[in-house]
Structure 1
Amino acid sequence: MIRPYVLAETNWEHLKNEQFDLAILPWGATEAHNFHLPYGTDNYQAEHMVTSSAGMSWEKGKKVIVLPTIPYGVNTGQKDIYLDMNLNPSTQLAILKDLVTVLDRQGIKKLLLFNGHGGNNFKPLVRELGLMFPNMFISFCFFPPMLDKTEYFKEKGDHADEMETSLMLYLRPDLVLPKEKWGSGSAKKFKIKAYNEGWAWAEREWSKVSSDTGIGNPEYATSEKGERFFNDVCTKLDELFCSLCDADLEELYH
């Protein structure tokens, strides 16, 4: 069935008389996810979350349109991991500038970037785009911090961990290798304490940090955990989409 709120699926017959309030751009990455998850994990997660949530908003009468997912992200710390694909932040800015130009010209003044990859950092890009396009409202969100993960998952992690494995077991179990293939996701930390405490930052050299490219133990992952987390994320995203559609850009603050 054609989903009229998904640009890649809809058609000119529908769009020629349509006008949207909010464009949503999922942005993922193509990279190794431990031994057992596909390179497109971030893209599958982001696209499923956004399209499911947009469908909920559309049923409420909100004019949302989901743009095709950008499947490459910033992977500068993984340059020696085979076929981990990298877009530099400057390239991301160039892509966004072109896409925002189209939206601005065609009267869609609200854009939400949905980030599915921890290596992407959209804050400085959104700041710069805000100067280029003063009539646009551009924002972004990242799904892992949306909920308290300890209420869903036993083990902490940030890459191919229990959370991501659970999501993929729910969304695309056909792409997840059998459990005996899963790596432990154990990872080294910096010897310099400040970087581990979070108030100083340096990029991790991934192949020196993890032996299986994962960071976080996936052992306790289940499809049921993934389904519960996914549904709760989508509920919150639907609320955000609806709020953005209804927002008066001249009255954003109180």
Structure 2
Amino acid sequence: MIRPYVLADTNWKHLKDEKFDLAVLPWGATEAHNYHLPYATDVIEGTAIAEEAGRIAWEKGAKVIILPTIPFGVNTGQADIYLDMNLNPSTQFAILKDIIGVLDRQGIQKFMILNSHGGNNWKSIIRELGLLFPKMFLCVGEWVKIVNRNDFFDDPGDHADEMETSLILHLAPELVLPKEDWGDGIEKKNKIKAFSEGWAWTERPWSQISEDTGVGNPKASTKEKGEHFFNAVCGKLGDLLLEISIADTDNLYE
């Protein structure tokens, strides 16, 4: 069935007479996810969450369009992990500048990046693009932060963990290896305490912090947990997409 709120599905016969208020761009990554999850994990998650949230918002009256997912993200800390694909932040800036330019020119002046990869960092990019496109309302959504993971998972981690494994068991179970192939996702911590405490930062060289590329034990993952989490995230995000699409972005503060 053609979904009119998904650009990849729809067609010129429909679009030539359509007007949208908000465009959403899911942005993932292509990288190893422990031994057992597909390299496209972030793409699968971001696409499914964006499209389901788009459906929820559309059916409530939002004029929202979900753009095709960008499949590559910033993986500068994983340069030695085979076929982990990297886009530098400057490349992301150039891609966004072109995409936002199209939307601005065609009168779609509300835009969200739906981030699906921890290595992507959007604030400085959005600040700079906001100066270039002053009529555009630009924002970022982080689906991983929408609900409290501790309410859904016993041992939420950071990467290819119980949360992500449960999500992929729900969304694409045919791409998950048997449980005996799952790594433990043990993370080595930085010996300098400030970096482990989080108030100082340095990039983690991924092959040094994790033997299996996972961070967080996936062993308690289930399809049912993934489904419950997915539905909670999409419901809340769908409401946000509706709220943004109907908002007067020149009058947001009180």
Unaligned runs of 5+ in 2: none
> Which residue is 2:174 aligned to?
174
Measure how far apart 1:145 and its partner are. Answer: 1.6
> Which residue is 2:125 aligned to?
125
Measure how far apart 1:198 and its partner are. Answer: 0.9
> Which residue is 1:84 aligned to?
84
Task: Establish whether residue 209 from structure 1 lines up as the match of residue 209 from structure 2.
Answer: yes
Measure how far apart 1:14 and its partner are. Answer: 0.2
SS in 2 for 1:208: helix
Measured in 2, the distance between the counterparts of 1:156 and 1:197 equals 18
> Which residue is 1:164 aligned to?
164
Task: Establish whether residue 56 from structure 1 lines up as the match of residue 56 from structure 2.
Answer: yes
> Which residue is 2:134 aligned to?
134
Measure how far apart 1:117 and its partner are. Answer: 0.2
Measured in 1, the distance between the counterparts of 2:28 and 2:136 equals 23
Unaligned runs of 5+ in 1: none
Aligned residue identity for 1:155: D
Measured in 2, the distance between the counterparts of 1:156 and 1:147 equals 12
Aligned residue identity for 1:71: P
Aligned residue identity for 1:126: I
Measure how far apart 1:141 and its partner are. Answer: 1.1
**1:144-203 superposed Cα distances (whole Å, 9 cap, x missing partner):** 221111111111311000000000000000000000000000010000010111111000
List, as ranges, runs of 4+ consecutive aligned residues in structure 1 with deviation greater than 6 Å.
none
Measured in 2, the distance between the counterparts of 1:180 and 1:79 equals 28
Give runs of aligned pairs for residues 224-235 of structure 1, distance below 5 A. 224-235=224-235
> Which residue is 1:70 aligned to?
70
Structure-1-length-normalised TM-score:
0.99
> Which residue is 1:101 aligned to?
101
> Which residue is 2:185 aligned to?
185
Measured in 1, the distance between the counterparts of 2:98 and 2:57 equals 27
Aligned residue identity for 2:68: P
Measured in 2, the distance between the counterparts of 1:149 and 1:8 equals 30
SS in 2 for 1:23: strand
The percentage of aligned residue pairs carrying the same residue is 62
Aligned residue identity for 2:27: W
Q: When the two structures are aligned, how many residues end up with a matched partner?
A: 254
Give runs of aligned pairs for residues 11-50 of structure 1, distance below 5 A. 11-50=11-50
SS in 2 for 1:159: coil
Measured in 2, the distance between the counterparts of 1:146 and 1:200 equals 25
Aligned residue identity for 1:171: L
Measured in 1, the distance between the counterparts of 2:21 and 2:248 equals 11
Measure how far apart 1:252 and its partner are. Answer: 1.0
User: Contact between 2:61 and 2:242, CA under 8 Å: does it hold in 1?
Assistant: no
Measured in 2, the distance between the counterparts of 1:204 and 1:174 equals 31
User: Contact between 2:56 and 2:239, CA under 8 Å: does it hold in 1?
Assistant: no
> Which residue is 1:155 aligned to?
155
**1:50-108 superposed Cα distances (whole Å, 9 cap, x missing partner):** 10110111111210000000000000000000000000000000000000000000000
SS in 1 for 2:158: strand
Measure how far apart 1:215 and its partner are. Answer: 0.4
User: Contact between 2:146 and 2:237, CA under 8 Å: does it hold in 1?
Assistant: no
SS in 2 for 1:191: coil
SS in 2 for 1:216: coil
Measured in 2, the distance between the counterparts of 1:156 and 1:202 equals 22
Superposed CA RMSD: 0.5
